Amino acid sequence: MAGNSIGQLFKVTTFGESHGPALGGIVDGVPAGLEITEADLQVDLDRRKPGQSRYTTQRREGDEVKILSGVFEGKTTGTSIGLLIENTDQRSQDYSQIKDLFRPGHGDYSYWHKYGHRDYRGGGRSSARETAIRVAAGAIAKKYLKQAHGIEVQGCLSQLGPIKAEQFDWQQVEQNPFFFPDLSKLEVLDEYMRELKKRGDSVGAKVMVVARHVPVGLGEPVFDRLDAELAHSLMSINAVKGVEIGDGFAVVEQNGSTHRDELTPEGFTSNHAGGILAGISTGQDIVASIALKPTSSITIPGKSINVYNEATELVTKGRHDPCVGIRAVPIAEAMMAITLMDHLLRQRGQNPHVEVPAPPIAASIC
Amino acid sequence: MAGNSIGQLFKVTTFGESHGPALGGIVDGVPAGLEITEADLQVDLDRRKPGQSRYTTQRREGDEVKILSGVFEGKTTGTSIGLLIENTDQRSQDYSQIKDLFRPGHGDYSYWHKYGHRDYRGGGRSSARETAIRVAAGAIAKKYLKQAHGIEVQGCLSQLGPIKAEQFDWQQVEQNPFFFPDLSKLEVLDEYMRELKKRGDSVGAKVMVVARHVPVGLGEPVFDRLDAELAHSLMSINAVKGVEIGDGFAVVEQNGSTHRDELTPEGFTSNHAGGILAGISTGQDIVASIALKPTSSITIPGKSINVYNEATELVTKGRHDPCVGIRAVPIAEAMMAITLMDHLLRQRGQNPHVEVPAPPIAASIC
Amino acid sequence: MAGNSIGQLFKVTTFGESHGPALGGIVDGVPAGLEITEADLQVDLDRRKPGQSRYTTQRREGDEVKILSGVFEGKTTGTSIGLLIENTDQRSQDYSQIKDLFRPGHGDYSYWHKYGHRDYRGGGRSSARETAIRVAAGAIAKKYLKQAHGIEVQGCLSQLGPIKAEQFDWQQVEQNPFFFPDLSKLEVLDEYMRELKKRGDSVGAKVMVVARHVPVGLGEPVFDRLDAELAHSLMSINAVKGVEIGDGFAVVEQNGSTHRDELTPEGFTSNHAGGILAGISTGQDIVASIALKPTSSITIPGKSINVYNEATELVTKGRHDPCVGIRAVPIAEAMMAITLMDHLLRQRGQNPHVEVPAPPIAASIC
Amino acid sequence: MAGNSIGQLFKVTTFGESHGPALGGIVDGVPAGLEITEADLQVDLDRRKPGQSRYTTQRREGDEVKILSGVFEGKTTGTSIGLLIENTDQRSQDYSQIKDLFRPGHGDYSYWHKYGHRDYRGGGRSSARETAIRVAAGAIAKKYLKQAHGIEVQGCLSQLGPIKAEQFDWQQVEQNPFFFPDLSKLEVLDEYMRELKKRGDSVGAKVMVVARHVPVGLGEPVFDRLDAELAHSLMSINAVKGVEIGDGFAVVEQNGSTHRDELTPEGFTSNHAGGILAGISTGQDIVASIALKPTSSITIPGKSINVYNEATELVTKGRHDPCVGIRAVPIAEAMMAITLMDHLLRQRGQNPHVEVPAPPIAASIC
């Protein structure tokens, strides 16, 4: 495949540059009969939208999504759904100065060498703006998962630079601009961000995503394991440098006697595995975390070169997020929803005869 | 896809249970003209083979691979390569007792609920024995990468439980049974493992894999990014719970001013990115790490249930590794090689016109 | 896959209903650096456009295609190309009467039973209007094939009802509204169509497509043979009921001594094979033919049922082609170009080392 | 994909050369719980086996298939099924003389130019021997289709050279070595074949395959239409030059008023469409036909060249079928079964909510 599609039975294909006329996508494989409107998609797009707080980029993108096909009289028809978001606030002039430069930490260098020709305006195809369509497609998946199977996907910012959430109050996540689950740390966060912005620097973040009420049995053995495909879809988000399932890297120092989730007739006694054993869901909560690097678009000058291999110094102007991890929360939810929906359809196609009582589930780490 | 294939142009499909008559695979997409023999594959199979040291399982698997097609007069023909490894040392009786039990931390529970019918002998398809074919297929990819492009893929054990490698002497890796790059800690490692074995417990591990001399430009934008597909292939290895590219989860606490790899006419000044920017290789070393959980097959009793949801206590007998991470080194190399080879063919198919001078590369973290 | 994509390295995904707001598509895998404009695509769209002659439907579709991404400063960037055609002339009221009816010979019945919910306006997704995006995508493939490799793809109407082309004057094909290569029969054709229209009936057709200057070696063994994938792409065109490569069904009565294309140092002495042996191109012209059924949208009443399984009689109103085969010529060209381009990229990815002198080619049937 | 796989959810991947040590395949995506034994597969392998009559090649291939994985205690486990057929009767010496020659009508020329290196023994990978594994995989699909859904797939030889079946007595098909449904013509057939063999020539054939009791709704819109994927899988059979669905090329001369299958409350009144409308099954019999070219392996001398482009004359020795179409009957059944099974799983994955009463079906052409 040429890279702009994800999924097998539920498949999302996207196009669009940050400063082109529009972004768009095709969502293929949604079963017929799902009630869906543009408003359903807009909710998540608005959560991802820049300009929501003083800590995210002040660009004003309308991000109004149109559904161009696949929905008739309010319900999906089973055919492909065309999505379109027109770009309305493009200040291309901001970028003309970096036409021949490689910004450190960006895809400029790798794109240039891969293609020999690139859309340098705002990162072009490598811009995080591309994720708007993922969020719209993910909103369709989320609605289907919820309506057809009661599955809920929710994300939060679990760490920003040195500040870690220690309590997970999921009700609070949507009540603050950081998607942060630990109310007690909001003030510290606010102060940290203000100071960071003053310095013109950026910082990394950790985002956790959880799926609840996932049936046992999703995921295919060996290569298409649910954890492998979640790693794929989550790592494909811009700026992500690490993916964990369940306890993640903490397992390196764990012993088998403490890591293994024991079973009782009342259910699992713990969820170190993050809801996946041997690549297949157990019916417990699916838990994944991702590490997002600090954006390289900062106002502190940095050394770089141009396409002629000449040394230069670079300051990124334009409007950028000091912590891209914050806006990544709805994107991570979208990618998990897309992967779960694909596996749900695949499992249904391949194992329709298996009807087992819901397994008892006692514990989750969230 | 039904789960047992990976890759697009270079595609590996496998079959086989730990206690069935044989394991096998089909390696499709190897260009014609590569010189390859069974001995080339056997080298890596022997590195993965159990029974190599007292810290890996004492099962004696011949692991002798046969090439059944796709090679003629010593060279690949361009058609699909059939691989076969017969299982010779299967003690199925070890497993009959756990026929109706779910071992905590294993795929027993999820497989049972997914399929309603499972091969319970030694984990069946979910056994790590399945990875033998990955290693054989990976050896083909490694040979091609090396011969056609000078690319080298090498892995090491970077941490075992609490013991971290602090020096990376890559020459030493193949000289000790732990694939450990830090000679100064071998004694501590040995002692730790002896004590662990006495307790009947297991421990997690961290494995690092590096690819050197990778050309700039591998990886497709958006969903088939090189890092996303590496995350997929590495997370598909049994027991892996986390994947990092470059600095991985350390980026959460980094600032943009320190994380970004600056560029000079002599090359990059650092490699925090792990050789991938915006999903596309930069020409620097590709660096990835994985977290492997401690095996759940331990002799310390654990609570579990049977298929009738009755409580039971379980002790895993049979022969198992106290740290599966050790043997994961050649497997991780294989998966990285498979993914790189697929992307190399895809890049060549899609961007043959781009001929740029090799970019300057100054730094790597390894 | 969910059905709306075709191709591996060169991949086309489409959406859109005949009476929705727009049709669109995503063309993925075009190498960077190809000069392309909307005008390049419009040429073929205009050839397919209804209302061109009195024998094709009088709907006036603007069919103006917009390129929304993937092209920068006049050249492709290597990223996905978004295409959009807005629907401007939709008379939905024509269709409200058949909301609950199944038109014989249409997809109404099968769509209804597959999805339980359908866009009944003008056939919705099953309308031939969907092929406009195929033609736009095919125009990109045609331009690339021509510019990068000198390959030309051309189609013609070789038979309409009982009237067969006996001479193939390819220069004449674009000079008449039938795409017919035999000038001597244009008058007979014209008369036949006038009479057919008067009767309110329709007729089938046969379309031939030829690709010239195709290099030897395109096509993968066994399942992804070039002929198999051409059969797939050509049979996916609405109304097609048969596909032939080279001599096609005539081979049933041929002997091996006459069918086999002999080889001399000057080249093949004939081209019964249609340029493909064992699924791989020989360097001769690729020749394929398709059979298109007569459209079922005719004004002669027919028996049918409604969704309540009640008998009814049906007359199709609206504006329809008496012979859909005529407009299928540019569509068939598009599908052949799409398949050839995909195989060209795949061959280049997998066999870059093979550099052989162009084989001698003496004969082609066209 | 690299060419040796077919299908999405039900996927078959194969390897093996005619004169290598073995043929094999991996059948992925069979739902768990299907009772299957090697004997189930052997039935169809024996139908395809050469040496069955004096009109098929006298090579004695054991063609004994082994199931190496994916079946436990007599039932499928849901994981990949490994198949192996060892080659036992290889007379490689028959072929050494044509090492540097291109046999007219064979893949020698195209393989040589594609790969620059080929297994010249008996056609290597391009040999029809490869289809043995298709037949074994198809037998699994046939059993599943029959057991889970009552679907039956059956083929026959409908024409051999000039001799057409005029009556279709499906009970007779398995009672004669020609798979011919018209008893009244068996004597003529026998005489024709005897005369052909004496002349050392070969002849083409037409094979029809029918699937009965297929539910309505199989097939995906636009590119993955059921007819398009059947065309793909049937055209991928060696020697096939044409594929028809329903009336096939006869539609070229039909009018819409006669072609369209009218509907009554008791069902369709005809089946010109071959059971597929707009790419989706209607619940009527699926009917497809294929044209098989006369084999080029004949004892009548023919002109050719060698790899040095020198003229030569060639007589094919060895043991070959005068009409390869005869043995193609079980292969065509296998390919139709494989494609139907894949679509059945896909439909089930994507449209599980649609539960409609079985549509009334009155007519079929067989």
Instruction: Give the type of residue at C346.
Output: R
pLDDT of residue C362: 43
Residue D296 lies in a domain: yes
- Report the gap between the CA of C286 and the closest CA in chain D (Å): 13
**Chain A residues with beta carbon closer than 8 angstroms to that of B203:** 253-256
Do the beta carbons of residue B227 and residue B279 sit within 8 Å? yes
Residue C363 lies in a domain: no
Do the beta carbons of residue D205 and residue D254 sit within 8 Å? no
Specify whether the backbone of B60 is left (phi greater than 0), alpha (psi in -120 to 50) or beta.
beta
Residues A304, B67: Cα–Cα separation, whole Å:
49
- Report the gap between the CA of C149 and the closest CA in chain A (Å): 19
**Chain D residues with beta carbon closer than 8 angstroms to that of C116:** 351, 353-354, 356
Q: Is B267 exposed, middle or buried (0-12, 13-18, 19+ CB in 10 A)?
A: middle
Polymer length of chain D: 366
D275-290: per-residue pLDDT in tens? Answer: 999 999 999 999 999 9
Residues D343, C110: Cα–Cα separation, whole Å:
14
Residues D17, D6: Cα–Cα separation, whole Å:
18
> Nearest by CB to C80, which of A4, A76, A81?
A4
C186-223: per-residue pLDDT in tens? Answer: 999 999 999 999 999 999 999 999 999 999 999 999 99
**Chain D residues with beta carbon closer than 8 angstroms to that of A78:** 350-351
Residues B225, D11: Cα–Cα separation, whole Å:
25
pLDDT at D362 over 70: no
Does the beta-carbon distance from D32 to A353 stay under 8 Å? yes
Helices B226-235 & B324-350, crossing angle to 10 degrees?
A: 150
Instruction: Give the type of residue at B6.
Output: I
DSSP letter at D238 equals T
ipTM: 0.94
Residue D263 lies in a domain: yes
The C-alpha angle with vertex C5 and arms to C1 and C8, in degrees rounded to 5, equals 85
Residues A86, A235: Cα–Cα separation, whole Å:
26
> What is the count of residue pairs from C and D with beta carbons less than 8 Å apart?
395
Q: Which residues contact C299 (CB under 8 A, 6 or more apart)?
A: C200, C315, C316, C317
Residue B360 lies in a domain: no
Query: In which band, very low, low, confident or very high, does the pLDDT at A51 lie, cut at 50, 70 and 90?
Result: low
Q: Which of A80, A350, A351, A355 to mutate to test the interface with D (most CBs of D within 10 A)?
A: A350
How many other C-beta atoms are found inside a 10 Å radius of the C-beta of residue D301? 12
Does the beta-carbon distance from A24 to C84 stay under 8 Å? yes
C96-126: per-residue pLDDT in tens? Answer: 777 889 999 999 999 998 998 888 888 889 9
pLDDT of residue D365: 44
Total number of domains constituting chain C = 1
Tokens (6 digits) for A263 = 């079973």
DSSP string, C257-281: HHHS--EETTEES--TTTTEETTEE
Q: Which residues contact B213 (CB under 8 A, 6 or more apart)?
A: B149, B150, B151, B152
The CATH number linked to C37 is: 3.60.150.10
* Residue A98 CA: distances (Å) to CA of B263, C70, C76, D127: 15, 20, 20, 57
Closest-CA residue to C268 (of D110, D123, D104):
D104
Does the beta-carbon distance from A9 to C1 stay under 8 Å? yes
Q: Which residues contact D195 (CB under 8 A, 6 or more apart)?
A: none
Residue B361 lies in a domain: no
How many other C-beta atoms are found inside a 10 Å radius of the C-beta of residue C92? 12
Tokens (6 digits) for D320 = 């070959």
State percent of chain A over pLDDT 70.
89
> What is the count of residue pairs from A and D with beta carbons less than 8 Å apart?
58
Q: Is B264 exposed, middle or buried (0-12, 13-18, 19+ CB in 10 A)?
A: middle
How many other C-beta atoms are found inside a 10 Å radius of the C-beta of residue B275? 30
- Report the gap between the CA of C205 and the closest CA in chain A (Å): 28
Instruction: Give the type of residue at B228.
Output: A
A154-202: per-residue pLDDT in tens? Answer: 999 999 999 999 999 999 999 999 999 999 999 999 999 999 999 999 9
pLDDT of residue C59: 53
**Chain D residues with beta carbon closer than 8 angstroms to that of A148:** 353
Q: Which of D12, D77, D87 to mutate to test the interface with B (most CBs of B within 10 A)?
A: D77
pLDDT at A251 over 90: yes
> Nearest by CB to C21, which of A23, A68, A79?
A68
C32-52: per-residue pLDDT in tens? Answer: 999 999 999 999 999 988 655
Residues A113, A116: Cα–Cα separation, whole Å:
6
Name the least confident of B111-120, B241-250, C315-324.
Answer: C315-324
Beta bridge partners of residue D245, listed in sequence order: D288
**Chain B residues with beta carbon closer than 8 angstroms to that of A102:** 263
Query: In which band, very low, low, confident or very high, does the pLDDT at D29 lie, cut at 50, 70 and 90?
Result: very high
> Nearest by CB to C257, which of D252, D260, D300?
D300
If you average pLDDT over residues D324-349, what whole number do you get?
95
The SS3 call for residue A222 is: coil
Do the beta carbons of residue A180 and residue A189 sit within 8 Å? yes
pLDDT at C90 over 70: no
A65-100: per-residue pLDDT in tens? Answer: 999 999 999 999 999 999 999 998 655 566 777 788
**Chain C residues with beta carbon closer than 8 angstroms to that of A78:** 114-115, 117
- Report the gap between the CA of D73 and the closest CA in chain C (Å): 32
pLDDT of residue C88: 83
Residue B366 lies in a domain: no
pLDDT at D296 over 90: no
Does the beta-carbon distance from D350 to A345 stay under 8 Å? yes
> Nearest by CB to D79, which of A31, A80, A221?
A221
The SS3 call for residue A71 is: strand
Specify whether the backbone of B68 is left (phi greater than 0), alpha (psi in -120 to 50) or beta.
alpha
Q: Is D125 annotated as a binding residue?
A: yes
**Chain D residues with beta carbon closer than 8 angstroms to that of C295:** 256
Residues D134, D332: Cα–Cα separation, whole Å:
9
Residue C87 lies in a domain: yes
What element of type H or E holds D142?
helix D131-149
Backbone angles phi, psi at B287, to 5 degrees: -125, 125
Q: Is C59 annotated as a binding residue?
A: no
The edge-to-edge listing of strands for the beta sheet with D152-160 is: C163-164, C152-160, C205-212, C286-292, C240-245, D240-245, D286-292, D205-212, D152-160, D163-164
**Chain C residues with beta carbon closer than 8 angstroms to that of A79:** 4, 15, 17, 119, 124-125
Binding-site residues of A for NADP(+) sit at: 48, 54
Residues A127, A118: Cα–Cα separation, whole Å:
12
Residues D337, B152: Cα–Cα separation, whole Å:
44
C173-184: per-residue pLDDT in tens? Answer: 999 999 999 999
A281-293: per-residue pLDDT in tens? Answer: 999 999 999 999 9
pLDDT at B90 over 70: no
- Report the gap between the CA of B7 and the closest CA in chain D (Å): 8
Q: Is D319 annotated as a binding residue?
A: yes
Residue with tokens 């040496």: D51
Residues A150, D210: Cα–Cα separation, whole Å:
42
> Nearest by CB to A349, which of D78, D222, D346?
D346
DSSP letter at C57 equals -
Which structural domain range is residue B311 located in?
A: 5-350
Residue D355 lies in a domain: no
- Say whether pTM exceeds 0.90: yes
**Chain D residues with beta carbon closer than 8 angstroms to that of A353:** 31-33
Tokens (6 digits) for C88 = 């401007």
Positive or negative, the Cα torsion across C105, C111, C113, C118?
A: negative
* Residue C74 CA: distances (Å) to CA of A119, C79, C81: 11, 14, 13
Quick one: closest CA in A to D350, which residue? A31
Instruction: Give the type of residue at A318.
Output: G
Quick one: closest CA in A to D7, which residue? A8
Does the beta-carbon distance from A350 to D346 stay under 8 Å? no
Q: Which of A126, A195, A241, A269 to mutate to test the interface with B (most CBs of B within 10 A)?
A: A241
Closest-CA residue to B290 (of A279, A259, A252):
A252
Q: Is D281 annotated as a binding residue?
A: no
The SS3 call for residue D122 is: helix
Alpha helices in chain A, H assignment, sequence order: 38-48, 93-96, 108-115, 131-149, 186-199, 226-235, 256-259, 324-350
Residues C256, A145: Cα–Cα separation, whole Å:
58
Beta bridge partners of residue C163, listed in sequence order: C160
DSSP letter at A29 equals -
Does the beta-carbon distance from B69 to D26 stay under 8 Å? no
Closest-CA residue to C107 (of D221, D361, D268):
D221
